[in-house]
């Protein structure tokens, strides 16, 4: 693993966490959106990460590349999916334009407390990657100082 691989790994972590924070911000911004472009209420989005690098399609290709897996190549956004497992909120408000025939309005499945907790988690992970990036930079600078003496 080269010295610059640590920069790449930490930068990939910061990029992924920034994307996660953007998605959480979108969830918070749409917490009261009862009608999207397709006419349904907004659904909370969840970001998943995966290891960056080659994807093993079969067991033999996975086994063959197992030794290179320990080198570390960073992280990337695996996918962004809609939260289908959390129920939407039903609120009785017959005067709302999106109310059904019984007077209930379907609100998004966004819980502000959960989103803020996830936002704190993502910002701490971003901060940890930034700190590790700074430590790698400091090590590289010390190495250059030793060589130049």
- pTM of the predicted model as reported, rounded to 2 decimal places: 0.82
**Can you tell me the distance from the alpha carbon of 97 to that of 12, in angstroms, rounded to the nearest whole number?**
44
Nearest to 87 by CA among 47, 35, 41, 20: 41
Q: Which helix (H) or strand (E) holds 137?
A: helix 112-148
Q: Is 96 exposed, middle or buried (0-12, 13-18, 19+ CB in 10 A)?
A: middle
Could you read off the pLDDT tens digit of each residue along the chain, which spans 149 residues?
A: 577 788 999 999 999 999 999 999 999 999 999 999 999 999 999 999 998 876 656 676 666 666 555 556 889 999 999 999 999 999 999 999 999 999 999 999 999 999 999 999 999 999 999 999 999 999 988 888 887 76
82 phi/psi in degrees, rounded to 5: -85, 140
């Amino acid at each position: 693993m080269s010295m610059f691989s640590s920069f790449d790994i930490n930068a990939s972590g910061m990029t992924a966490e920034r994307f996660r924070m953007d998605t959480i911000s979108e969830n918070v911004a749409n917490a009261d959106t009862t009608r999207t472009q397709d006419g349904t209420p907004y659904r909370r989005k969840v970001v998943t990460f995966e290891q960056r690098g080659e994807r093993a399609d079969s067991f033999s290709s996975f086994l063959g590349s197992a030794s290179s897996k320990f080198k570390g190549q960073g992280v990337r956004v695996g996918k962004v999916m809609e939260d289908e497992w959390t129920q939407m909120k039903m609120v009785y408000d017959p005067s709302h334009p999106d109310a059904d025939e019984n007077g209930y309005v379907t609100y998004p499945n966004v819980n502000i407390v959960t989103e803020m907790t996830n936002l704190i988690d993502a910002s701490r992970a971003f901060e940890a990657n930034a700190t590790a990036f700074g430590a790698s930079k400091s090590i590289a600078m010390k190495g250059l100082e030793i060589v130049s003496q």
